[in-house]
Amino acid sequence: MFGTSGIRGRVGEDVTADLALAVGRALAVDADRVVVGRDPRESGQFLVDAVVAGLRESGTDVVRLGLASTPTIARAVAWQDADAGVSVTASHNPPEDNGLKLWQPSGQAFDAALRETMTGRIRSGAFDPAPWDRVGDTACRDARARHVSALVDAVDSPRELPVVLDVGNGAGGLTADALLELGCDVETLNAQPDGAFPGRPSEPTAETCATLCAVVRDSDAELGIAHDGDADRMLAVDGEGNWVGGDLLLALFAREAASDGDRVAAPVDTSLAVDDAVAEVGASVTRTKVGDVYVAERASEPDVAFGGEPSGAWIWPEETLCPDGPMAAVELVELVAERGPLADLVGEIERYPIRRTSVEVEAKVAVMERVEADVRERYDEVNDLDGVRVDLGDAWFLVRASGTQPLVRVTAEARDEARADEVFEEARGLVEAARS
């Protein structure tokens, strides 16, 4: 039921009002107050209503945030003295999908134990409705201004830079508010919230953000920023209009946040360039499963200074354990203002050719079982922390099932282009053979 990013799937099939009602009832078992918000998807309106109904029916008070970014909702759990939070969102998924992601007061997503407890409650269908005169209260609040204030406070001083912000028709408009308050000259793209994502697909990639790259290249902007639908992700474009890969951003953020003896949490599909970058400041990388929930779990440990994923999820534990795209935006602006052009900064990072793709499959569990059996027969150095990761000495590859979509992800990296291509095709061939 729960994947790496909560419950997510096709509306009307995997995600229904009945399911949202059950989630509300299950949360209410041990929660007196819950914060609820949503991204711009039209289906989010009735899913929020269903969650709220389940909570109030069971005697739990609800704070409704309306349309809000996921990091705003996660932060608001503590701000509203609540016991949990619910983001009704499918994040970077297409508009026909939606989902529910659950948050703890620390800003951390529900961990494996909490997800298992919720699953058991939902499947049992057992709940205790409150007496008619003890149903939960509901209140509407706007946490956006407080989030903006937190972002501005995180930066040492005003940063006057020209920036292009591609909101992606999502919930990340507060980034513009924060940047304007910091003194930036902000041009926005796709700023009108629209859950059909008419401007571009919700997931920010080099391909989907081609317009952002062109606008930055043809203007005097010093960088471009892109969010996904719920703004838990942030990716960037340098002042020359070049897309900056997530591994490079991870290396930059991690090197800035970490110091001697610190660890940086990153998933198993992260480039070795990140290891090299943090080693320069005496820090090291600790690998996790892919998924911001796993990165956040590791980031909660006292010696972890930063956590991130190449997909664009960035966690500063001292601020919150939720991936915060707007926070990443202001951090990047500060970094460029202090250190110089983003193109120069990423040019300092040692990089290696890394290849990534996703293969659509009908039965990802069965495909992965066949891939793992094949891999164990062929290779000696196999790590099964998340999918199967094979160390070839001069290269590595990872094959793993997506936690949110019917896809198998393939990643490969080597020290030179030809070897990276060779290993990548080798890994992709394993998946193609397993699905045929």
Instruction: Map out the domains of the chain with their CATH numbers.
Output: 7-142 (3.40.120.10), 146-347 (3.40.120.10), 354-435 (3.30.310.50)
User: What is the per-residue pLDDT for 351?
Assistant: 87
Mean pLDDT across 267-271: 90
Nearest to 321 by CA among 74, 82, 148, 90: 74
pLDDT tens per residue, range 45-61: 999 999 999 999 999 99
Please tell me the distance from the alpha carbon of residue 315 to that of residue 399, in angstroms, as a whole number: 25
- Asked if the model's pLDDT at residue 4 lies above 70, the reply is no
Q: Any idea how long the chain is?
A: 436
Give strand pairing partners of 328: none
Q: Average pLDDT of 298-307?
A: 96
Largest CA distance in the chain: 70
Q: Which residues pair with 215 in a beta bridge?
A: none
Q: Each residue of 362-374: pLDDT tens digit?
A: 999 999 999 999 9
Q: Calculate what percentage of the chain has a pLDDT beyond 90.
A: 90
For 181-220, write each residue's pLDDT tens digit: 999 999 999 999 999 999 999 999 999 999 999 999 999 9
Q: Pinpoint the alpha helices (H) of 198-245.
A: 210-217
Average pLDDT over residues 335-341: 94
pLDDT of amino acid 405: 80
- The tokens of 163 are what? 């920036």
**Residue 157, pLDDT above cutoff 80:** no
Q: Where are the alpha helices (DSSP H) in 182-244?
A: 210-217
Whole-number mean pLDDT of the chain?
95
pLDDT computed for residue 106 by the predictor: 94
Q: Determine the 3-state secondary structure of 195 from DSSP.
A: coil
Tell me, what DSSP letter sits at residue 403? S
Among 5, 69, 87, 91, which one carries the catalytic annotation? 91
Contact present, 256 and 349 (Cβ < 8 Å): no
In the structure, what pLDDT confidence band is assigned to residue 290 with cuts at 50, 70 and 90? confident
In this predicted structure, the answer to whether residue 168 has a pLDDT above a threshold of 90 is yes
Q: How many helices (H) and strands (E) does the chain have?
A: 14, 20
Helix axes 174-181, 144-153, angle to 10 degrees: 40
Write out the two tokens for 117: 């407890």
- What's the pLDDT at 1? 76
* More confident: 76 or 159: 76
The SS3 call for residue 418 is helix
* 22-52 per-position pLDDT tens digit: 999 999 999 999 999 999 999 999 999 999 9
Judge whether 109 and 101 are in contact, CB under 8 Å.
Answer: yes
- Does the pLDDT at position 160 exceed 90? no
| pLDDT tens digits for range 94-150 | 999 999 999 999 999 999 999 999 999 999 998 989 999 999 999 999 999 999 999
Question: Closest Cα to residue 313, out of 223, 232, 253?
Answer: 232
* H/E run at residue 417: helix 417-435
The pLDDT value given to residue 251: 96
Give the Cα-Cα-Cα angle 223, 224, 228 (nearest 5 degrees).
150
| pLDDT for 436 | 79
Around Cβ 288, how many Cβ atoms within 10 Å? 23
Beta bridge partners of 6: 3
- Report the SS3 class of residue 333: helix
Q: Is 43 a catalytic residue?
A: no
